[in-house]
Amino acid sequence: MKIGIIQGRLSRPIEGFQECPVNWQQEFSLLPELNLNHIEWIVTKKSFGTNPIFTDDVSRYPISSICADNLVDERIIDKEYLYRHLVWMTFLTDNPDGGTEFIYQDKYIPAEKGKTLIWPSDWTHTHRGKVDTTKEKMIITGWIDLK
C-alpha cells in the first residue's frame, strides 16, 4: 500500500505552506523516517516557472501525483489519473481553520483528527486545503484505482 504525504510538506514550510520547498530533495529523505513512501507534488501559480517538476529530472523520486492548486495547464498530465475513481483523506491533527474546501460544492470541512473524507476523483470535486499559518495540519491520503 502506498502511504504518503500530500503536497510535499515534510520539512518546515519557510516559503509558504502550500509552495514547493526550496530544498525539495530533502522532502524525499524524510519519507523513511515517517514510514511514508511517496509524495503528492505541489504546483502553484507562484512556483510554476521554477518548479522542479518542470525544470529538473524528478523521475527517480517517488512522486505519486501532482496537485495543481489554482492552476490548470496542458503540461500537467497524469495517465494513472484515468484509472482513479475515488480519493480518500484522513485528518491526523485538529485544526478548525486548516481544513479542506470543496469548490463546486461550496463546502468547507474543518480538520478533525480521525475524520476521513471520501469523494469522486473527477473535476466535479475540485478541492483545496485552507492554510492556517499558526497551527500545523497533517493528513494522510490515497486513491482507489480501478484498472
Compute the distance between CA of residue 123 and CA of residue 127 in angstroms, rounded to an integer: 9
Cβ–Cβ under 8 Å, residues 137 and 143: no
- Each residue's pLDDT tens digit, 37-59: 777 777 776 777 788 877 888 88
Whether 114 shows a pLDDT value over 90: the answer reads yes
- Each residue's pLDDT tens digit, 48-96: 778 887 788 888 888 777 776 554 444 445 555 556 678 899 999 999 9
pLDDT for the residue numbered 69: 58
Count CB-CB contacts under 10 A for residue 111: 24
- Each residue's pLDDT tens digit, 9-35: 677 666 665 677 777 888 888 888 877
Domain with CATH 2.60.120 in the chain: 78-147
Whether 138 shows a pLDDT value over 70: the answer reads yes
More confident residue, 110 or 72: 110
Q: Tell me the CATH class for 78-147.
A: mainly beta
Q: What is the mean pLDDT of the chain?
A: 77
Half-sphere exposure of 6 (CA within 13 A, CB side): 21
Cβ–Cβ under 8 Å, residues 19 and 11: no
Q: CB-based contacts of 32: which residues, under 8 Å, 6+ apart? A: none
